[in-house]
């Protein structure tokens, strides 16, 4: 058999930050200080993956084989998920430290230990956060080949109860959806002769009309793109196409996303008015002139070309929102707004779901939480009846 392809087998070279206050684990050779996204892999249980078959016979595989298994499975989670799970794994081990839980009891963990962990965190974290922490411990078990012995029904009840006990401070304020009018107003207070503003507005319109996640067209930090350029969409990933009727679309090939490590395509068509993403993209490309290999919304800074970071993008939008008196503008509001815009135009439910790349009916929350989507059907003379047939999910 040919030699296996190389995989990353060492920790990232970036220096990890100090642990958060109150969340410093006891020193252990099993848990080296590393980046949060590396903890699932490099924090190891006391018992290693077994090389013994069900009959008790050793299997002739090497330490290198075991390390490669670990490396391959570790790549099953997106970087953002690994970071979230790394935070949960830290909380779990600090909990175990405070209770004096032995290393061999932490993995495989008995069901009562996970119930105690959830209960101890109840009232401190939001329900969704605790869900992530629970599944972080599960992922850690699976990655290292340990059996997951948790009582599913009991843990589900505990997580539900913990969500009910979540502190009010953990609940996010309702995210206002972006609208076409809001985007037009934001344009009116931006200076489109400024490289950053041109990049931000192009990113905003593209994210809105592709129903994309904010992090899919921005980068998490100035060094992230340089460290892994193949992970982010570039100017060279933009393609143009049209159908047999001459309807043109612009396609962005995202190399990887939160839910798809192999990437996905997102797309928009030209729109009328000042919110046209095509005009915004052309202006950005002409002003900032990023090369094909650059992050798609890179902009000209005094120190050189910079990829557009998520923080810079949102800060610029919030500054514009403050000038307009629009309140807090959150990134997820762009995705919500794009979804609602297409639904209100009468685009069939399944088509919008496909555009937004939802694999589950979590998408129904966009209908349940925004009465404006259902407003046409609540009138004494309902309108858009064909849309109602196609857009709304079937009743049970």
pLDDT per residue over 179-226, tens digit each? 999 999 999 999 999 999 999 999 999 999 999 999 999 999 998 899
The four Cα atoms 131, 134, 138, 139 give a dihedral, to 10 degrees, of 60
pTM: 0.71
Give the closest residue to 221 by CA, choosing from 232, 211, 207.
232
3-class SS of residue 251:
strand
Picking from 46-55, 196-205, 314-323, which range would have the lowest pLDDT averaged per residue?
Answer: 46-55
Beta strands (DSSP E) in 171-276 are 238-242, 248-254, 264-268
Q: Which fold has domain 180-390?
A: hpI Integrase; Chain A (1.10.443)
pLDDT given at position 168? 78
Token pair 């762009």 is found at 334
- Give the residue extent of every domain in the chain: 36-170, 180-390
What mean pLDDT comes out for the span 339-359? 82
Mind listing the pLDDT tens digit for each residue in 242-299?
A: 888 888 999 999 998 777 777 889 999 999 999 999 999 999 999 999 999 999 999 9
């Amino acid at each position: 058999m040919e030699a296996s392809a190389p995989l990353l087998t060492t920790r990232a070279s970036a220096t990890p930050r100090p642990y958060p206050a109150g969340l410093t684990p006891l020193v252990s050779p099993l848990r080296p200080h590393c980046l949060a996204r590396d903890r699932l892999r490099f924090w190891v249980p006391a018992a290693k993956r077994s090389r013994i078959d069900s009959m008790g016979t050793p299997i002739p595989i090497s330490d290198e084989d075991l390390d490669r298994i670990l490396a391959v499975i570790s790549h099953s989670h997106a970087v953002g998920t690994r970071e979230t799970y790394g935070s949960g794994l830290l909380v779990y081990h600090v909990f175990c430290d405070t209770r004096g839980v032995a290393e061999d009891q932490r993995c495989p963990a008995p069901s009562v230990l996970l119930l105690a962990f959830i209960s101890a965190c109840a009232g401190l974290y939001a329900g969704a956060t605790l869900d992530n922490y629970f599944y972080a411990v599960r992922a850690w078990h699976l990655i290292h080949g340990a059996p997951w012995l948790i009582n599913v029904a009991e843990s589900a009840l505990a997580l539900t109860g913990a969500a009910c006990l979540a502190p009010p401070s953990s609940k996010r304020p309702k995210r206002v959806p972006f609208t076409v009018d809001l985007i037009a107003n934001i344009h009116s207070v931006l200076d489109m002769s400024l490289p950053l503003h041109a990049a931000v507005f192009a990113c905003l319109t593209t994210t809105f009309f592709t129903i994309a996640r904010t992090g899919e067209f921005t980068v998490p930090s100035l060094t992230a793109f340089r460290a892994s350029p193949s992970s982010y969409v570039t100017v060279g990933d933009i393609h143009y196409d049209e159908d047999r009727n001459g309807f043109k679309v612009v396609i962005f090939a995202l190399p990887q996303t939160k839910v798809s490590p192999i990437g996905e395509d997102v797309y928009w068509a030209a729109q009328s008015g000042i919110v046209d993403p095509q005009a915004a993209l052309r202006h950005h490309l002409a002003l900032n002139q990023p090369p094909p290999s650059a992050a798609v919304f890179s902009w000209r800074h005094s120190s050189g070309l910079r990829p557009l970071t998520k923080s810079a993008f949102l800060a610029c939008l919030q500054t514009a929102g403050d000038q307009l008196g629009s309140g807090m503008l959150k990134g997820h509001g762009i995705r919500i707004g794009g979804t609602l815009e297409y639904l209100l135009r009468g685009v069939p439910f399944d088509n919008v779901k496909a555009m937004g790349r939802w694999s589950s009916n979590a998408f129904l929350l966009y209908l349940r939480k925004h009465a404006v989507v259902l407003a046409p059907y609540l009138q004494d003379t309902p309108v858009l009846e064909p849309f109602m047939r196609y857009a709304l999910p079937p009743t049970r």
